[in-house]
Structure 1
Amino acid sequence: MLKALCQGLCLSLPLVAGAQAASVVFLNPGLSNETFWVDYSRFMQAAATDLGMQLRVQYSERRADLALTQARAVLQGPERPDYLVLVNEQYVAPEIIRLSRGTGVKLFLVNNGLTDSQARSIQAQPDKYPEVLGTLTNNDEAAGYQMLKAMVAKLPPSSEPVDLLAFAGVKTTPASQLREQGMRRALADFPQVRLRQVVYGGWNRQRAFEQAQVLLERYPQTRLVWSANDEMAFGAMRAFEQAGKVPGRDAVFSAVNSSPEALRALIDGRLGVLMGGHFTLGGWAMVMLHDDAMGLAVNRDGLREHQVPVLQLIDPAKARRWLQLLEQGGHGVDFHHYSAEGRPASYRYPFLTSPVDY
């Protein structure tokens, strides 16, 4: 049922009798069986259903070439949506923005926004690149910093050096870059922590497992394993377990993502630190697109780009609560509650300034 929901996502609920529901296509950069991106799409679909919108999700299977092919088909096809939501994974956004010129389709970026150099290039060529409706990105740099800080706090007090291994995602993904930057910023606060090596696991469990096997032979005294997502954390964890080490006892592992497996690993103590909540960004984008379709201003604070503090530390109590909420559609969120519809002009979206607690 979940597979049918995720691959066929094109449900609709009319706004009012005779009204045309706003249509949205989301170019999901992940794999169609990848827990994080499937959960991300489910949350978006819950928002679409609640708000009376049409949503279609296309998975790019982590292939930039496929993402561009899909975008071209959506933007140049006979039945164009009102909105196209995309992620600047592997730097695909500028070309998709260019392709949208003159199509009448409004673009909205989530999770990975434009890099500074991309933004400058686009701003310098307004005749080539239309303006994007909005951008919602995570607090990735802060999350990378906070994650390492929380990991060190779990170690017994000592002035002895501590070896750290880090598993970043993809070099051409802004979220991965920012999480790594945050981790490196935290190193300045902990001179006893020695960063032995950063590897790029491509968000992939098997690849991180293979990398960790090599790294553990090279650095057998590793006590800290920082990972930019849960899949890489579990891959590295498997390598440590095969070497006879116990995660949570012999090394502190961290991860980003609130998948059921990650939440359970935190509760069990195998994961020492977990950051999550960023799967909600697509849902909040749907709220803003709903309001735009209603003729309401979505840049109510005068800004088009927002960094949203969705990534937060998850403790075991919250992990247990989130596991229960995962069984409810959309985490039990009333998306209408966050809309600007019927609100005064002074209303500001609360999810832009503080994390929504479930």
Structure 2
Amino acid sequence: MFRFVLTVISAVCIWALGVTTPVIAENAHTAGKTPASVVFLNPGFSNEPFWVGYSDFMQAAAYDLGMQLQIIYGERNPSQLLEKARELLIRDNPPDYLIFVNEMYTAPELLRQFADSPIKLFSLHSTLTPEQQQRIGASRERYRNWIGSLVPNDEQAGYWMAKALIAKLEGKPGSLLAFAGVRFTPSSSLREDGLHRALREHPEIKLQQMLQGEWKRQRAYEQAQLILPRYPEAKLVWSANDEMAFGVMQAAQEIGRQPGKDIYLSALNNSDEVLQARINRKLCVLVAGHFTLGGWAMVMLHDYHAGLDFAERGGKDRVDPLFSLLDAKQAAHLQKRLKVPGFGLDFRQFSAVYRPQLKDYQFSIQPLLQ
């Protein structure tokens, strides 16, 4: 009954948005097979909007694909996350797949723990760094049960944000302040790399200071209270996520500076609040899309479980262009779309099981912007 009601609600919402989702017939690849069971070691807090939304997208994919998914939150504590991972090894019914994130560079220890386990591992969001892989190898090498990875174009996202901010000055010299995430986190480091690439292309822009806001609004707010008066000429503020951007925005407004007019801010993420800020043009630059990563990973594991190796459809280790710059109109569309049950998608349409002609997954945020 619940599924029927949910389906009816989804259909009405999808019709209202003008979204068309194809009806896809059942496929012989799935007939008689035990559904894949997956555990996702989510590194975030269980009440953290980004990571909760990230998990919701995964759950929607799991539902459509008939997979079993359990989310285990690490509460931003690497030791706690590794301990919860160890508990999976002694379960009576362990999962088929474990999805992990290389947060705080914990991946090598996790791979070591599961080296002799039948559980297959998949790295998501941030995989092992090139330096780590030089020491222990890539997926399907030393650790044969580490079958692949999917990460977003983080470096490109950092670059796009910086380029779009710099464009606000129309070629004039200027100053920029930057707020990075957690030190020793690959996604933060890559976004910083993108920022520095853009700055090399624009020697007329001076980076006055880079601060570690640690993804937190309050920390960035406190830092901005000190640094904004120190650099009154700085009109550009680059932030590696939305929470830090909002912290800076609050501090700027408290000293009489108007976001979008005499100070230009960038942000990255897809919360309702940040989308609204882009719609209202308090944020001049917004990049979003990586919250979809988990859902696409479920598609890949679903196909792998059915005997269709994703390595043959774009490679075993993917860096997909999931990030996109959003203008105000796109932000408004995405804001509505994220409130539709099931996100208005049938995830089977992205699967090689149901689309045998599929040669490359080519994952992106575009299905949610249409």
Map Cα deviations across residues 120-165 of structure 1 (whole Å, 9 max, x no partner). Answer: 111299997344111011101111111111112223x353x31111
What displacement does 1:317 show?
Answer: 0.8
Q: Distance in 1 between matches of 2:326 and 2:356?
A: 34
CA distance in 1, matches of 2:225, 2:300: 45
1:9 matched to which residue of 2? none
Partners of 1:225 and 1:356 in 2: CA distance: 30
Cα 1:285/1:126, change in 2 over 3 Å:
closer
Shift of 1:81: 0.5
Aligned to 1:332: 344
Q: 1:335 to 1:182 in 2, by over 3 A?
A: same
> Deviation per CA, 1:236-295, whole angstroms, max 9, x where unpaired?
111111111111112100011011101000011110000001100100000011111111
Whichever residue aligns with residue 350 of structure 1, its letter is: Q
RMSD after superposition: 2.1
One-letter amino acid of the structure 2 residue matched with residue 217 of structure 1: P
- Long gaps (5+) in structure 1: 1-14
Q: List gaps (5 residues or longer) in structure 2.
A: 1-28
Which one of the candidate residues 64, 78, 83 is aligned to 2:78?
64
What is the match of residue 230 of structure 2? Answer: 218
The answer to whether 1:39 aligns with 2:58 is no
Give secondary structure in 2 for the equivalent of 1:26: strand
Contact 1:225 1:252 in 2 (8 A): yes
CA–CA separation in structure 2 for the residues paired with 1:316 and 1:323: 10
Residue 217 of structure 1: how far off its partner (Å): 2.4
SS of the residue 1:269 aligns to: coil
1:179-220: CA deviation from partner (whole Å, max 9, x where unpaired): 001001101222221100001111111111111111112212
Residue number among 85, 107, 110 corresponding to 1:93 in the alignment: 107
Kindly indicate whether the alpha-carbon contact (under 8 Å) linking 1:23 and 1:55 is maintained by their aligned counterparts in 2: yes
1:183 and 2:195 aligned? yes
Alignment of 1:1-358 (within 5 A): 19-123=33-137, 129-155=143-169, 157=170, 159=172, 161-301=173-313, 303-344=315-356, 347-351=359-363, 355-358=366-369
Shift of 1:21: 1.9
Distance in 2 of aligned mates of 1:340 and 1:86: 23
CA distance in structure 1 between the aligned counterparts of 2:54 and 2:232, rounded to whole angstroms: 36
Find the aligned partners of 1:194 and 1:264 in 2 and give their Cα distance.
30
Larger deviation, residues 161-170 vs 75-84? 75-84
**Alpha carbons of structure 1 residues 356 and 94: separation in structure 2 relative to 1, 3 Å:** farther
Local SS of the residue matching 1:213: helix
1:8 is matched with none
Q: Normalising by structure 1, report the TM-score.
A: 0.90
Cα gap change, 1:103 to 1:149, in 2 (>3 Å): same
Aligned to 2:9: none
Match of residue 16 from structure 2: none
Cα 1:122–1:232 shift into 2, 3 Å: same
Quick one: distance in 1 between partners of 2:345 and 2:314? Answer: 26
- Sequence identity percentage: 50
Classify 1:356/1:113 alpha carbon distance in 2 versus 1 (closer, same or farther; 3 Å).
Answer: farther
Task: Answer yes or no: is the 8 Å Cα contact 1:86–1:110 preserved in 2.
Answer: yes
Q: 1:120 to 1:233 in 2, by over 3 A?
A: same
Distance change >3 Å, CA 126–CA 336, structure 1 → 2: closer
Quick check: 2:314–2:361 contact (8 Å CA) kept in 1? no
Q: Secondary structure at the match of 2:282?
A: coil
Are the counterparts in 1 of residues 44 and 73 from structure 2 also a CA contact under 8 Å? yes
Pairwise CA distance, 1:344: 3.8
- For 1:25, give the aligned amino acid: V
Provide TM-score, normalisation by structure 2: 0.87
When residues 102 and 176 of structure 1 are mapped into structure 2, their CA distance, relative to the original with a 3 A threshold, is same
Q: Which amino acid aligns with 1:45?
A: Q
